Amino acid sequence: MEEVLVNKVAQSGLITINLEDLFPKYEIVEMDIKQFLFHGLILKEKDFRESISQLDWSQYQNKVLCVYCSADAIIPVWAYMLIAVQSEPYVDSLYFGTKESYIRHYYSNKIKELDIKAYADGRLVIKGCGDLPVPASAYMDLTARLVPVAKSIFYGEPCSTVPVFKQKKNI
């Protein structure tokens, strides 16, 4: 008698959500303004203005530019404003902070926009262990959004999951 193989994962009714599918498709680059500081610590207005005016801004063409300062220095607000003026003709968008903080912010907004009604009473698997740097905060934010509507939430792969949430049964 021939044994019939059954794909129990396919029959389980699990809905997989892959946060990597939401990852930005465009290039995100950083600019640490420490490079424009005297001895990496002091912002001299004249030198700063000259440095950013001579910068080849075309290298940021159609990219998201994340601007931050890694030095423990006092940076006047107008310095960031000058960068906004210089970069405006080139960048797709400008963000104050690191690339990592931009991605957290991006995911937070994307998760807020999700139509969670599509997951109502679903048995959900939030896929993990991917190739892209999806922040842990995205997993937390998504779980918090889904708990009110999901029947259950798991983390991992459909064949090997970690239970995260199970809706309490009404008696």
Domain boundaries, the chain: 8-24+116-166, 28-91
The Cα–Cα gap between 81 and 67 comes to: 11
Task: Work out the average pLDDT over 23-40.
Answer: 95
Q: What's the confidence (pLDDT) of residue 62? A: 97
In Å, what is the CA distance from 43 to each residue of 10, 50, 76, 82? 60, 12, 8, 13
Q: What's the confidence (pLDDT) of residue 158? A: 81
Task: Work out the average pLDDT over 12-29.
Answer: 93
Structural contact between residues 124 and 12, judged by C-beta atoms closer than 8 angstroms: no
Question: pTM for the complete prediction?
Answer: 0.84
Banded pLDDT at 1 (limits 50, 70, 90): low
Banded pLDDT at 170 (limits 50, 70, 90): low
Q: Give me the amino acid identity at 98.
A: T
Banded pLDDT at 129 (limits 50, 70, 90): confident
pLDDT digits (tens, 9 = 90+) for 53-110: 999 999 999 999 999 999 999 999 999 999 999 999 999 999 999 999 999 999 999 9
Contacts of 147 (CB under 8 A, 6+ apart): 153, 165
The Cα–Cα gap between 7 and 42 comes to: 64
* Per-residue pLDDT at 130 exceeds 80: yes
The Cα–Cα gap between 128 and 148 comes to: 21
Q: What token pair was written down for 38? A: 């005297």
Average pLDDT, the chain: 91
The sheet carrying 152-157 orders its strands as 14-17, 123-127, 152-157, 160-166
